[in-house]
Amino acid sequence: MSDAPKPTSTQRALVILDCFSAESPRLTLSEIARRLGQPVSSTHRQVGELLRWGALERGDDGRYQIGLHLWEVGSLAPRSKSLREAALPFLEDLYEATHENVQIAVLDGHEVVYIERIFSHRSTPIPARPGFRLPPHATGVGRVLLAHAPIDLINTILAGPMKRFTAHTTCDPSQLRRELAKVRKTGYAISHRQIEDTSSSVAAPIRGPENAVIAALSIVVPFRGDTARRYVPAVLASAQGISRTLGAPVRHPDGIHIRNEAPTGFLPGQ
């Protein structure tokens, strides 16, 4: 947004939507105007345009909030929708086998964005929810995504400031590089007490039609030494199932990858 030399009226209207967040889901007109540093009168006009289309709506208390129509249109985003639809049955199965938090995330810019999370009353409480962002260095899904990201992105993120969430968060670039190499080698990431002092994560890559890593799946469980390791086979199987559904090449035990084509018969000649 800030790249544009002179924002158009459409861009000024869209920027209003960025005033809303999980922490501030409802705003008055003057709060919006104050956040944007612009007069209430022009804000009122722009808000009216967003209201008419359904990008905003007014809640029971008269404050503005993101509208159901924007949510509906947003639900069509292929990076969220196709991944979510392919993943959900596998997330359900993994959740049912473990009763822990299971989630999928993608990399957007320098951050991890959670696309879906399945949990229940019995799962360890964690902050991740759809649309939530966290830095990649400290999350299991982030390390999986970063391990398979272009080297320039890895360098940029490891060179930048890295937030320390707990006393155990790894913020040392050399140590993180070793972690990423291990993720590439083993095919999964196990991390302990990186975001919260009480939880561990096991994460694995989700691959698309060209075998590129397009998302990551993780399970977050209570930290109890290295016991999280027992979830590795289930996480790998679920991630592989989602990848296959998304058209990733089938991985054969002999290491040869073949394209995941429409099913054919098993008898020669069929």
67 lies in the binding site for a copy of itself (CB under 8 A) = yes
Residues whose CB falls within 8 Å of the CB of residue 26, separated by 6 or more in sequence, listed in order: 59, 61, 63, 64, 65
Give the span between the Cα atoms of 265 and 270, in whole angstroms. 5
With respect to a copy of itself, which residue has the nearer C-beta, 128 or 158? Answer: 128
With respect to a copy of itself, which residue has the nearer C-beta, 4 or 262? Answer: 4
59 lies in the binding site for a copy of itself (CB under 8 A) = yes
Query: Could you say which DSSP state residue 226 is in?
Result: B
113 lies in the binding site for a copy of itself (CB under 8 A) = yes
Considering only 32, 87, 100, 119, the residue that binds a copy of itself (CB under 8 A) is 119
Structure tokens at 135: 């830095």
With respect to a copy of itself, which residue has the nearer C-beta, 57 or 182? Answer: 57
Query: E strand or H helix at 218, and its extent?
Result: strand 213-222
Query: Which one of 32-40, 124-132, 142-150, 261-269 is the stretch in contact with a copy of itself (CB under 8 A)?
Result: 124-132
Considering only 58, 73, 222, 259, the residue that binds a copy of itself (CB under 8 A) is 73
177 close to 208: Cβ distance less than 8 angstroms: no
- Write down the least CB distance from residue 251 to a copy of itself, Å: 20
Burial 114-146 (b: 16+ CB within 10 A, else e): bbbbbbeeebbebebeeebebbbbbbbbbbbbb
207 close to 138: Cβ distance less than 8 angstroms: no
Residues whose CB falls within 8 Å of the CB of residue 260, separated by 6 or more in sequence, listed in order: 244, 247, 248, 249, 250
Window 28 to 57, contacts with a copy of itself (CB under 8 A)? 46, 49-50, 52-53, 55, 57
With respect to a copy of itself, which residue has the nearer C-beta, 86 or 183? Answer: 86
**Count of chain residues binding a copy of itself (CB under 8 A):** 59
> By three-state DSSP, how is residue 93 classified?
helix
Binding residues for a copy of itself (CB under 8 A)? 1, 3-4, 8-11, 13-15, 17-18, 20-22, 25-26, 46, 49-50, 52-53, 55, 57, 59, 65-81, 85, 88-89, 92-93, 95-96, 106, 108, 113, 118-121, 129-131
